[in-house]
Structures are given as structure tokens and as C-alpha cells.
Structure 1
Amino acid sequence: MLKYTICFIRRGNELLLLNRMKAPNMGLWNGVGGKIEPFEQPMDGIIREIQEETGLSVQQVQEAGIVKWISSESESGMYLYYCELPIDTVYATPIEKDEGILAWKSIDWVLDHENEGVVDNMKYFLPYLLRGDFDNQHTFTYDENGIVNYECRTLTTKKLSSNNA
């Protein structure tokens, strides 16, 4: 089981992002999420994290795959989730929370190739998520300079091949 969760909350052409106050990714915009508590299921963990970090009470989010990262020092990952709010949802930002500053950001701004204010791996997997392609494992290999390799693999194929082995 992975240790972390992350959710991207969408309202129309905007994403609710958090500019983190603490490491990792301090000062960068990212989805909301965090560590899974002992004996907590990932889905319960992300619903709790959304409530804690945004104050929003969502009942259901969409499982959207897995993000893993590998470096010479460690290997870890997170369960990826997606939540779409009705376009008329009122949630005024910016809001300062303990974890950082929440704000709605346009999808075009988030994905702009010159935008260095978002977490570096987000631009790779976010397009999959935004088009509803939820059944993937996104694996990133890092060295001291950043991402050196990215691989996207369909989880269904992996599950089918492991069942047939």
C-alpha cells in the first residue's frame, strides 16, 4: 500500500490548488491530499484530507490511478483522485489554511509549459486525469537535477497479466 493521496478538484475550467507552506513542494501549487493514517483506506484518507485542507465535504471522489517516484534514495507514491464540482459551486479563494494558500487556477495556466510554479510531475499525468483516463500508473525517476524518466502504464493491463500468470 502507498503512503499518500492527492486529489485534483475541478470546477469547469479551473482546478482548486494548494500552494504548500511546507516541504515537500513548498511554494509550489499542487492538488490537495496527504498521508494515509494507520488502518485508513486510501479513499477514506483523501476524503478526510479534502475536508481538512479545504473545508469541503465531498462524499465521493473518482479513483484516478497511481503516481510513483523513484530516486537513488527512496521509492514512494500516492493514490491519485479526481473530483468534479458543479460549475455553480461557490468556493471563494484565495484562502489561507495551515497547509498553504488555496486558489482556483485555470487549467491552461496549470499546464502551460513555461509555468514553473506547479509541482514538476503534475504536467505529465494531469492531462490523462482531465480527459477521464483514470486507470494508469505514472512512474517518475529522479536524479539530483529532477525528472530523468517518465513512464505511463495502464493498470488494467498489469492486473490482467498478473491474473493470467
Structure 2
Amino acid sequence: MQGYNVIMVYNNKLDKLLMCKRLKDPYKGLSNLVGGKIEVGEAGIEAAYRVLLEETSISKEDIKLHHLMDFTYHLQDCYVEVYVGRLKRAISVSGDENILYWSDLDQNFFDMSLYAGEGNIGHMIEHVNYIKDTILSDENSFA
């Protein structure tokens, strides 16, 4: 079973979410979270930090990631690990995999004509909204 990850990166003020505009299929032209493949033998959290650095230039020193949830797609023989974190300070992001941008949080992330993932991004954001005071507080994010 192939593993993938998606990473929800909130800015240090918790009012924006890092998104990317997909340049290739699947979901070409749609907005998505950053993410990638988990290599064989690689721990999920280490893969998340590796992918984040490769795709955005955000390092392990810039953010503390929390393993939020998993999705298992039995018929596609794959699973997705979801990580979330808050930047420790304002930094510039850069990458050439997709077009990166900071999205305001008042968007309809369930709109499948704009966002990848069949509504999963909206679901993940709603879940984070329930728990962000505990896992994304200054104390836990910057420890």
C-alpha cells in the first residue's frame, strides 16, 4: 500500500493556510495542500518534514508538525497521512513543484470546482478548527 502525506501549514498568526495551485494531474489547475509520497521505510513524520522542505523551503526549525488524521483508500491501495502545524514566525516560502500561495480561511474549501480532494480539505480545516487552541497554541507550536 502506497503512503502519501498532506501538510496543513498555518501562518504564525493562524489567519492563513498555505495552498498550492496544481500544475499537473491529478487535480491540475485546482488548489490543494502541499504533500507528497512517503518512501518505503520512511517514517511518516520524517516524510512530512522532507516533503515540506522540498516543496516550500520550510524547515523543521520553522514549524512543529502534528499528526492530525489518516485516510485509507482500500480500493486504490493507498493511504494519506495528514499533518498540521503553525509557523513559528513569518517566513517566505518558495518551491517549483506547484504555485504556492497563502489563502484566507474564509473560503469555501468544500468547493470541488476550486479545491482538490473531493471536499477533504474542508473537512480537515473544520477538524483543525475544533482542536487548534490545543495543538496550535503558542506553547505547543513553539516548544
1:37-85 deviations in whole A, cap 9, x for unaligned? Answer: 12111000000000000001124310101123355xx242200000111
Greater Cα radius of gyration, structure 1 or 2 = 1
Percentage of matched positions with identical amino acids: 25
Deviation at 1:132, TM superposition (A): 2.0
Correspondence for 2:6:
6
Q: Which of 82, 87, 105 lines up with 1:107 in the alignment?
A: 105
Q: Aligned equivalents of 2:38 and 2:24: distance in 1?
A: 18
Whether contact under 8 Å (1:3, 1:78) holds in the other structure is yes
Counterpart of 1:54 in structure 2 is 56
Number of aligned residue pairs: 126
Partner of 1:91: 92
> Within 5 A, what are the aligned runs for 1:30-49?
30-49=32-51
Q: Is the 8 A contact 1:36 1:42 kept in 2?
A: yes
Residues 5, 35 of structure 1: 8 Å contact kept: yes
Distance 2:36 2:98 in 1: 13
Tell me the CA shift for residue 19 of structure 1: 1.1
Is the 1:2–1:79 Cα contact (8 Å) retained in structure 2? no
SS for the counterpart of 2:50 is helix
Given the superposition, is the C-alpha separation of residues 104 and 38 from structure 1 closer, same or farther in structure 2, using an over 3 Å criterion? same
Q: Give yes or no for contact 2:21–2:30 (8 Å, CA) kept in 1.
A: yes
Query: Which blocks of at least 5 consecutive residues in structure 1 are unaligned?
Result: 134-165
Tell me which amino acid in the other structure corresponds to 1:78: V
1:118 aligns with one of 112, 115, 140? 115
Instruction: State the Cα RMSD in Å.
Output: 2.3
* Distance in 1 (alpha carbons) for counterparts of 2:42 and 2:19: 24
1:81 is paired with a residue whose SS is strand
Per the alignment, residue 129 of structure 1 pairs with 128
- What is the Cα deviation at residue 91 of structure 1? 2.2
Aligned partner of 2:57: which letter?
G
TM-score by length of 1: 0.67
Higher RCO (Cα < 8 Å, 6 or more apart): 2
Number of the residue aligned with 1:81: 83
Distance in 2 (CA, whole Å) between partners of 1:114 and 1:132 is: 23
1:26 counterpart SS class: coil
Higher strand share: 1
TM-score (norm 2): 0.76
